[in-house]
Structure 1
Amino acid sequence: MDLAEVIRRFRLMYFLLKGLLNLAKRNVVITHRDVDGVIAGALLLRYFGDSEVIFAGPRDIDQVLRIVSLWRGKGYHIAISDISLNRGKVGAVVSSLVSLRKRGCRIYWFDHHTWPEEVLSTISPYVDKLCIERAPSATSVVAKYLNLVDEYTKELIEVANDADTARYSLEVSHVYRRLTQKHGTRIRLLKALARGIKLSNELLEEAKRIEARERKVLTDVAKFIEVHTTRGGRKFIVVDFRGTGIKGAGILVKEFCERYGADFAVVIYRDDSVSLYAGRARDINLLPVVWRFGGGGHPVACGCTLKLPLRDRLMAVIAKIFRRRYYPQKILELIDYTKEVL
């Protein structure tokens, strides 16, 4: 059993125990970890009331639903937002949805990413309300289909749209992005928003501390940026955030793209986690790259989880011990494939 499998099983046990301790809660909200996901989750928590909140993403939605299907009773509402379903997860997700539906649970799924048509047609019979629509944010999809039209919701939609389209023209969008980097501040922000509090002084101070740490990290990361060119003449950069704790760095990467005149960026978050973000080229479609490796997302912002063999995982651990930079073979394959297709 490799390290990844140990971590996966630990996560499953964590969610199982957490669920058993929260059986009194009537509903479950499963949402993404970024700004849009947090705001969408807050709207769902306001709408459904007493709910257990779980953060997930395309890479682990199958595991989370499996656990939820084990500890949910009859007649609950399960609301999922800002999480796309990739081809490789369909079978496991359908199995969990079937189990939940048999117990009378109602399932709602709201998303604004691009889903493969075969995934949509396969999953549709097992979801009571499947709302997948191209939109600036999942928050706007949630608000539309739940008919949330109050002024507070409109303000939150504006922030979610600003963050998820990587415009970041609002200062509050930057603050929220920093607060979504860690679970503790992420869940506190979501619950505050659900109560109608856009930002507390305590969370604002925490965001300032995160910003200071972030700027130092960016200085170090910039030293190792690589520049490449695709067969089609597109210039792109490879940015390595491994070991920094930074997640969802689209707006930070945008600054690097401007600095290097890059059309897009390949961003490495972990040895097995890679995202692609558009830089100067906003007309680019990056999805073919991540689809090849089982991922998904938007044409201009997408990602995938790589299946690494044991050798690559061991080499990565050794490299960290000796403070050497090491790219697993799968990451090199992704970079080479990017050069070929874009």
Structure 2
Amino acid sequence: MDEQLIKSGNLPLRRRSLLPGTGFFYPDSLDEDRSEERAREAIEGAEAVVVTDSDADGLGCIALVREMYDAALDVDPFLEEIENRLSEADQSDDEEDEDDEDQPESSVALLAAGPHSLTESLEYVADYAETGVDVFICDIAPDEYEPIAESVETIRKRSDRVSWYDHHQWPEAVAESVGEAGVDLVVGDSDEECSTDVALRSLDYEFDERFTDLAEVTRDHDLWLNEDPRSKDLADYAYWTSAEEYAAVVGAYGADLPESVEDYIAHRRVEKEQLIELAVDRAAYKSIGPWTVGVTYGRCSQNEVADGLQEAGADAAVIVKPSGSASIRGSETFEQAHLVARQVEGGGHPKAAGCKPDIYDDMMDYAYHWTTEGETTKRVILAAFRRVAEDVAAEDEAEQDEPTAE
């Protein structure tokens, strides 16, 4: 197949917004082989390993751990690379920055993961980490213990320290099992702390003030407070660049990013705003139970799109992505996002969750997904909203039927 067919950088913006990025079209087997090899290279010989989500909150945790171990990478080569990227006028969001295979390695290994790749990442640590290594797992909450049980228990037997720092909603049984395995599990209040906050207060180290500031600004975005303009910069930068680059830059500068990084963010943000506008314009609004649900489709920044849908009157926002996944965002009038997501292979917070319905059996299903702007995915998620609305109504009715104490 002509490789240019899967590179959407030269397409008109509206057409590009309907399709996933280039990486989507590479077989998982190629990614898995490459991921395992790179994980092995990073883990072997490391004095500590951090398995963390690849957003700004998760990567704030790796910056803290590397600072504590005096293992931060030199930031100057990354800044030079940013300058090089700025000189490329045709940079587009179809060409996400990847980790450089030749970049230096830290003695604290970084495995960027997520809910769907956590099991695999922990297996890599169990297979390749040396005896006595310290292991940190950050900003990820598993839905079940069984898939990670063997790896966690193997790692705990081999490691001097296994710590898990998070702030998501944990199923009680999973938290108990992780604790019983000997893991130091610290879960912060998801309404008050981000995972960087949890790591900052849990690590036995006197951090410089810039890391306290980094945690505060990261929290501002991760808890959707949006009171500090720097928090949007952190979130966008973490999304647009490699995990290693982000960790190195915020480790050196904290939340006050250097001028070259600010210039790079501004450059990328022009197209980002256009994609947000397209997604908001194609939204539809559905009345489900007591809520108005805004649902849209596109390759876009889900947080800002959700803000736009809520400004238009939505209590909840659903943003379906070309990759087949979806983001669900709540508000003061809808705090059941995690309940909806759990019904369609997902999970998260009461006001922010994600999922990927198991409805894609072959490429024809994806072709239909792209050409109908996610029609089937939207239908499945809206059906989950209806079930949650029915459950909420039943609970309210049961409470009203309970006799009041005299």
Alignment TM class, shorter chain as reference: 0.7 to 0.9
Partner of 2:55: 34
Structure 1 runs not aligned, ≥5 long:
none
Partner of 2:66: 45
| Counterpart contact for 1:282–1:300, Cα < 8 Å | no
CA offsets 1:85-109 (integer angstroms, 9 cap, x no match): 112xx22211111222232353211
> Residue type of the partner of 2:286?
H
In the alignment, which of 374, 382, 386 is matched to residue 339 of structure 1?
386
Partner of 1:305: 356
> Residue type of the partner of 1:338?
F
Write the mapping of 1:1-342 to structure 2, written as runs, cut at 5 A: 7-22=27-42, 23-48=44-69, 49=71, 50-87=107-144, 90-104=145-159, 106-134=161-189, 135-147=192-204, 148=206, 150-184=208-242, 186-197=243-254, 198-231=256-289, 233-241=290-298, 244=299, 246=300, 249-258=302-311, 260-279=312-331, 281-282=332-333, 284-311=335-362, 313-317=363-367, 320=370, 324-327=371-374, 329-342=376-389
CA distance in 1, matches of 2:159, 2:232: 40
CA distance in 1, matches of 2:52, 2:229: 23
| Counterpart contact for 1:189–1:199, Cα < 8 Å | no
Q: How many residues align?
A: 326
Distance change >3 Å, CA 120–CA 234, structure 1 → 2: same
CA distance in 1, matches of 2:294, 2:315: 8
Q: Partner of 2:321: helix, strand, or coil?
A: strand
CA distance in 1, matches of 2:149, 2:354: 22
CA offsets 1:93-141 (integer angstroms, 9 cap, x no match): 1111122223235321100011011111122222431111213211111
More contact order relative to length (CA 8 Å, sep ≥ 6): 2
Distance change >3 Å, CA 20–CA 257, structure 1 → 2: same
CA offsets 1:231-284 (integer angstroms, 9 cap, x no match): 2x201101212xx2x45x2244213311x11111112134431221114x3562
| Counterpart contact for 2:279–2:305, Cα < 8 Å | no
Which has the greater radius of gyration? 2
| Counterpart contact for 1:59–1:305, Cα < 8 Å | no
CA distance in 2, matches of 1:283, 1:265: 10
TM-score by length of 2: 0.74
CA distance in 2, matches of 1:115, 1:319: 32
| Counterpart contact for 1:97–1:127, Cα < 8 Å | no
Distance change >3 Å, CA 96–CA 53, structure 1 → 2: same
| TM-superposed deviation, 1:43 | 1.2
Distance change >3 Å, CA 124–CA 182, structure 1 → 2: same
CA offsets 1:1-47 (integer angstroms, 9 cap, x no match): xx999844333322221133332332211221222222222112212
Distance change >3 Å, CA 6–CA 217, structure 1 → 2: closer
RMSD: 2.5
> Residue type of the partner of 1:223?
D
CA offsets 1:193-228 (integer angstroms, 9 cap, x no match): 223454122211110111111011122222321111
Distance change >3 Å, CA 206–CA 120, structure 1 → 2: same
> Residue type of the partner of 2:384?
Y
CA distance in 2, matches of 1:191, 1:330: 37
| Counterpart contact for 1:15–1:64, Cα < 8 Å | no
| Counterpart contact for 1:166–1:251, Cα < 8 Å | no
CA distance in 1, matches of 2:304, 2:26: 33
Distance change >3 Å, CA 283–CA 318, structure 1 → 2: closer
